Structure formats: structure tokens, C-alpha cells
Chain A
């Protein structure tokens, strides 16, 4: 089961409360829930995990929380789920103030990194669990439960595996069961905690595509946490870049990649090189040598110059950055050359075409074609 087939059209989604494909393209379609996070703080003992985080998630959106470990992204996800309470702040699902409600009352679908499937129950019983534990008044009849479970198994492309136990499934299959189980309760929103973290690279790529398809069919507001930027940029409508308990930037993949708002985002997303520079009278100086970078609008003082290794031009013009080659390696279609520049021997990386013999020369002069300047303190 390596290729995931497109979803079969025969299964009647509407009857079991799942909207048809296309309905989710309109925000808040079919009651997809908006999430408003207002000024959340959370500390574990002395350590502060979140410092006043605010975020607005539109209904039906697929949004990624991206950041290194310790950035607070999993903490934020668990606060939204209700698996933890914040020290201060509010969480709203549309108009419903969920801030003090337990995870039971919030009706969220949570998918754990290590699946948390009930190992002594079959796949069928796992998916049916959320429906069967409802109080008698709200519990659907067993026939209806059965229908919904089988439809969901179809949706996640695991039909026929309903009698298996989790230990008899592969990692990718288990994760799909976990998703079906979360969807069965018709949650307000769907939350996924590094859902593909425990899987190998090929399965991860397949499941990414599959998750996007499922999201487009079902239209739930979905938040997922990842430290893999490729995953976040590929999957999500918007990406929230987090660092040390704060949100650095929120935007689409293009925004994050092409218009990073902070030094952290520039450095964390994609490859980057940086140099400490000084701005005097609108001119940029590296170790007291002027370099021709446009500093318009930047205040005088210390700054950091960021550029991507592939956004450079080689040529010995005035105002170039001159560096000594210290090594190089082949990366895909390019050759990545390590340079050192200036008295302090700042390290740089640039990309040159694979066939070029730039690396063989001792010295290279470069000029960034696209760059950003961020003020720094020291």
C-alpha cells in the first residue's frame, strides 16, 4: 500500500457529516471554527514556555506551528487542546470561551506524535471509541456508529483492516487510524502534534500529501506542530514561526521565505549567510570597508546583513565582499563554497554552479543580489 489512491467518489460523505470536497475553500464554510488565541502565557515552575502569545486562526485553515525544540509550539498546541491550562490569556472557538474548559468539553480532535492508539482494541474499536463513550443521551446507535467508522476507514484508505490490532499495523497505518479516530467525534478543530515525526522519510512525504487532501475534503480548522520546515512550508496555508515562547512571524510560505520579518526567521528558514556590519550615514561598512548594499531606511548603528547563498553575484567590483575560500562541497546542482572574510574571519556560504571553478581560486569577490539588514545590539 505505497501509493495512496484518490478518494473514492461513491461513499456518501454528507450522510455522516463530512462536507464534500470544495466546500472548505470558503473560510468558515459549513461551520468551520475560527480560533482566537489572546495573550497566552504559560510557565512550568520557574521556566516560562510562552510569553504572551496571540494568534488568529481562520475557520477551515491548515496552519503550522514551526520552530526549534523549546520554542513553545507543543505547549501552545496542548493549551489549545485543553491538555494544559494557561497561566493567563484566553482561547476562543468562534464565540465559545474555552479558556477554562477541560479537554473533554472542548471537543477537539488530537493526534499524538506516537499515535496513542489503544493497543488492546481493534482498529474498529479504536475509531469507534469516541462515539461509544458518549453519555447515553448523545450516543448514536451501534448501527450508525458502525457506518461512520467504516466510512472513515474508507476516507483514510484502510478499509478491510478494521479487525486488526495496532501492533499489526505499520507506522503510517497507525497514524491514519489515529486521524480517523480523532475525526470520528466530529471535532471543532483538529490538532496534530508532530504527526509524522516517528515515520521514515518516504512515508512522511506520502502522508503529507494525503493529509492535505483529507483537510481539503473535510474542511476542519487544523493546527499542526512540526520542526521540519519543508513540511510546514509545503503543507500549510499559513506558517507560524516560533522561537523561545514567542511568535516571530505569521504568514504564507512565500511570506516566510521571501520576506522574513526577523533575523531568527531568516536564519531558521532555508539557508542563509550573515555578516555583522555597521551603518554610517546610510552606508554599509564591513570591517570599515564600504560595501554597496542599499541601506535606505535603516538607522545608523550596528546591524546584521543576511542573504541566501544562492542570491549572490561574483565579480570584483567596488563594494564587493572579498573572501578566502576554505572549502567546498557538492549540494545537488550547485557547489557550496565556504568563505572567510574580514579580519575576524567571518564564515560565509555561497552557492555557485557545479561546473564553475570559483572554488579553485584562493579569493572570491561577491555581491549579494537580495539581502536584508536587521539592527543588532552588539
Chain B
């Protein structure tokens, strides 16, 4: 028996996988991410600069591109605040109360995720088109055209991005329970003051994340908007639609413009991620406090 206890090879922690397993899993994840996410994103930037910086930047002087960017920003500026309010209201009702139809409301909130965006757009066309009762009424009495116009695009975007804020808030608010609100009420705060000084601050990080996701999707939505917009150049074309229009032209410059706009959208996604990561790093302990509760 030459072997003593001191001769045994060093072992790692008994409760994690062996080093080889960990290495394999990490390598697998990195390769998958690289292939399916990083390489395509890089390709977008590379194609955008395929003819050099000049043609790429010239995109931003094309009136169609400018109109598309403006429209996308406008739609996001309306849709995101709307969904912020709707999301908070829905999460509040679901998390803090019990009422008949609550389970139904929860499934309803997930509906925009399970429905194809094209179907969503189509539904609005069928309900609010100029030959439907409501659509005709709006057109004749108020001169407001919903379908194939900006209001329709806003509506479709609101529908498609509705769940983001609510889904971030609901589990967190359910987890936090009603204890803090009861405490605030017992100290004399009104319903509104309780909401603004106690409930909202408790969910501010989840709220911010939901808004970031909602914004990213609102700017990038294609299917629903494509059905509803009618694709009138310079009027009802958002950035994703414009990218498709550029891509379908065979001029090299149009191709570059398509990828340039796509690079803008991709850049937006990256900026979103960076902001989120920075916030998580900067406010790490407050985040932990919110998550762990008391």
C-alpha cells in the first residue's frame, strides 16, 4: 500500500460537474451563440459597409429612409408608453387581487405571443378596415383612416408588444405579495400614494427591463405592420418594412441601404443590451434587495 491519502489527485467541488463536462457545455453554448447570433449580426455590419462608408451613410439622405426612421420612432413613442400603462394595470390587478376571470385574463395576456403577427394584423384589417362598420364610421365622421395608415400601425404594434411589460411584472408582484401595500395603507397612505411610493419602486428594475424589451420589439415588428400598413412609401413604411423594400430592389446601392438600416436596428438591440447590463452592474445590490424581499 504505497498510496496514502496525500497521493490522491486534487478533486473539485463534489456538487458541480467534472471539469471536462463543464468545458464541453460552455464550448457548446459559445459555439451555438457564435454561429446563430454573432456571425449573422457581424454579416449585417459587413454587408452594410460592403461598398464603403459613403454609400452606407448616403442611405440616411434618402427621403424614404428618413420617413421610415421617423415613423418607427413615432410608433415606438406611442406604443411603449401605452403598453407601460396597460402592463402595470394588468399586473397590478392580477398580482394583488382575486376576481372572477383572473385566470382568463392571464391567458389573454399571453395571446399576442401565441398568435402569429400576420394574423394579428389581419384581425385589425378585418375589424377596422374602411368597409367595416367601425372603420367606415371613423372615416366618415372623423376623417380618420385606421387601416393602411399610421393609427393602424400603432394599434398593431401595441397588440404585438403588449405582453412584455406585463409578463415581467406579474411574477415579481405576485412574489412580493400585498404586505408592503398593507403596511403603507395602515400608515395612512391613499391608494395612489401607495402605488407610486411603494408598489412602483419595488418593481422598477423589472419595469425597466420590460420597457426595453417592448421598445426593441416595437421598433422591429414586421409581420403585423406589413399586413396593416399598405406599404405607402414615405407614409406608412416603418424601418423593418423599408429594409424589405430596399432588399427587393436589385440595385447595389439599395442592397447597401437595406443592410445599413438593418445595422441600425441591430445596433439598437446591442445598445439595449448594454444599457441593461450596465444597470444591472451599477445597481446590483438594490436589484438583489428587490428580488430577495425583506
Contacts and interface: CB of A to CB of B under 8 A. Distances in A.
A164 to B, nearest CB: 12
Nearest to A83: B182
Given A116-B180, A119-B289, A133 B193 contact: yes
B179 A167 contact: no
Interface string B233-267: 00000000000000000000000000000000000
B285 interface: yes
B143 interface: no
Contact of B201 (A81, A82, A117, A120): A120
Contacts of B202: 118-120
Contacts of A116: 179-180, 182-183, 294
A133 B179 contact: no
Interface residues of B, number: 25
Contacts of A184: 187
Contact of A112 (B183, B290, B292): B183
Interface string A80-120: 01110000000000000000001110011110101111111
B282 to A, nearest CB: 15
Given A104-B190, A120-B202, A129 B294 contact: no
B184 interface: yes
B185 interface: yes
A184 B197 CA distance: 18
Contact of A104 (B180, B185, B201, B286): B185
Interface string B158-179: 0000000000000000000001
A133 B188 contact: yes
Given A117-B294, A133-B197, A167-B292, A112 B182 contact: yes
Nearest to A167: B289
B20 interface: no
B208 to A, nearest CB: 14
B293 interface: yes
A67 interface: no
Nearest to B194: A133
Contacts of B189: 104, 129-130, 133
Interface string A106-145: 0111101011111111000000011001100000000000
Contacts of B183: 110, 112, 116-118, 181
Contacts of A107: 188
Interface centre among B182, B186, B188, B292 (most CB of A within 10 A): B186
A130 B187 contact: yes
A114 B179 contact: yes
B289 A165 contact: yes
A181 B187 contact: yes
A115 B294 contact: yes
A165 B179 CA distance: 18
Contact of A109 (B186, B198, B204, B285): B186
A230 B32 CA distance: 61
Contacts of B186: 81-83, 103-104, 108-110, 182
Interface in B191-226: 193, 197-198, 201-202, 204
B185 to A, nearest CB: 5
Contacts of B285: 167
A185 interface: yes
A323 interface: no
A182 B294 CA distance: 17
A133 B181 CA distance: 13
Nearest to B187: A130
Given A114-B179, A114-B294, A115-B294, A120 B185 contact: no
B187 A119 contact: no
A102 B184 CA distance: 13
Nearest to B198: A118
4 residue pairs, one from A and one from B, having the closest CB atoms: A130-B187, A116-B183, A133-B189, A167-B289
9 contacts: A83-B182, A104-B189, A109-B186, A112-B183, A114-B179, A118-B198, A119-B289, A119-B294, A167-B292
Interface of B: 179-180, 182-190, 193, 197-198, 201-202, 204, 285-286, 288-290, 292-294
Interface of A: 81-83, 102-104, 107-110, 112, 114-121, 129-130, 133-134, 165-167, 174, 181-182, 184-185
